[in-house]
Amino acid sequence: MNGLYTALMCSFHDDGRVNEQGLREIVRYNLDVQQVDGLYVNGSTGENFLISTEQKKQIFRVVKDEVEDEAKLIAQVGSLNIDEATDLAQYATDLGYNAISAVTPFYYKFDFDEIKDYYFTILDSVDNDLIIYSIPALTGVNMNLEQFGELFAHDRIIGVKFTAPDFFLLERIRHQFPDKLIYSGFDEMLLPASVLNIDGAIGSTFNINGKRARQIFELAQNGQLNEARDVQKVTNDLITDVLSNGLYPTIKEILKVQGVDAGTLRKPMKPLTADGAKEAERIANTFIT
C-alpha cells in the first residue's frame, strides 16, 4: 500500500449528477498520464461531503470498474452518520477496495472515547483495513501521539493520512509506529514529510501534478535533497497559483485543458469566473507538461 495516491476529483453534470464518463476520464488521466500508484476515492477533493450515499456508491463502483486491478484503491467512507459509514465500508470492501479510510468525526466536539468508538464500530462492521484520515484544519480534531497509539493498537488500523503541518508530531508517530503507514496529505509539504520517512502521500494536486510529486518523493528517498527541493519549488509555484485562483475549480479547469471532462462542481462550491478560467488555462500552460 506504499506510494502516491491521487485524492480523486469527481466530474459532475450541471444538475449535480455524477458524470460517469468524465469520472472515467479523470481516472484514466491519473493512471496513464500522472502514473500514480493508487486513488483515494470520495475524499474532500471528491466533494464527498456534498453528495448522497447513492452517489458515493456510484462513484466507488465506476472507479473500481475503470481501474480493475491496475492500481490500489482506498475508499474514504467517513461520515457523521455512523450507519452510512459502515454501509459504505461494506460496499467498498465488497467491490474489492484495498483499504478503507475514514475522516475523524467532525462538527460536534466529540471526545476521544467517541472518536475511538467511531473507528472501532466501522472496523467491526467490515473485513478490511482502515487508514485514519486526520485533517485538523477542516475538522477541528487534533489527536496527540498517545491517542494515535490507542487507535494504532487495533491491528486493522494500518495507518494515517496525515494532513497537518505538524512535523514534530509526524516524526514522533514515525518513530513510535514504524510498522504503520504514514501518508502525507499536504502536497506543498511533501518534501519535508518525505525526509521524515513517510510511506506515501495522498494529494489533490496529484490529479494534475502527480509526476512531479513522484520526483520529489523518490529524490528524497534517494537522499538527493537539492534536486528534490528544486522540484518542490516548481510544485509550490503551481500550488500557490492554484490556491489563489480556487483549489478545486482550478484543478478541474486544468484537467479540461488537458482534454479531460472534469465537469462542474457540486453546490455550494462555485465555478470559476471567465477570468478565473483564463487564469487556470495560463497555469496549465505554464506548469503542466
From 114-122, 140-148, 181-189, 215-223, span contacting ligand HMN (CB under 6 A): 181-189
44 labeled binding residue: yes
Residues 187-246 that bind ligand HMN (CB under 6 A): 187-188, 202-205, 239
86 labeled binding residue: no
Q: Are 16 and 271 in contact (CB under 8 A)?
A: no
Confirm or reject binding of residue 7 to ligand HMN (CB under 6 A): yes
Given the residues 56, 161, 180, 256, the one annotated as active site? 161
Confirm or reject binding of residue 34 to ligand HMN (CB under 6 A): no
HSE-up of residue 99 (Cα within 13 Å, Cβ side): 23
Q: Are 262 and 9 in contact (CB under 8 A)?
A: yes
Distance separating alpha carbons of residues 250 and 233, to the nearest angstrom: 19
Distance separating alpha carbons of residues 34 and 287, to the nearest angstrom: 13
The least CB distance from residue 135 to ligand HMN, in Å, is 6
The least CB distance from residue 113 to ligand HMN, in Å, is 25
Distance separating alpha carbons of residues 186 and 164, to the nearest angstrom: 7
Q: Which three cell numbers stand for residue 13?
A: 453534470
Confirm or reject binding of residue 247 to ligand HMN (CB under 6 A): yes
Give the gyration radius of the chain's Cα atoms.
18
Confirm or reject binding of residue 6 to ligand HMN (CB under 6 A): no
Q: Out of 19, 34, 44, 250, point to the residue binding ligand HMN (CB under 6 A).
A: 44
188 labeled binding residue: yes
22 labeled binding residue: no
45 labeled binding residue: yes
Distance separating alpha carbons of residues 267 and 50, to the nearest angstrom: 8
Confirm or reject binding of residue 163 to ligand HMN (CB under 6 A): yes
Q: Out of 185, 200, 210, 249, point to the residue binding ligand HMN (CB under 6 A).
A: 185
Q: Is residue 161 annotated as part of the catalytic site, yes or no?
A: yes
Q: Are 17 and 50 in contact (CB under 8 A)?
A: no
Nearest to 189 by CA among 176, 201, 172: 201
Residue ranges binding ligand HMN (CB under 6 A) = 7, 40, 43-45, 138, 163, 185-188, 202-205, 239, 247
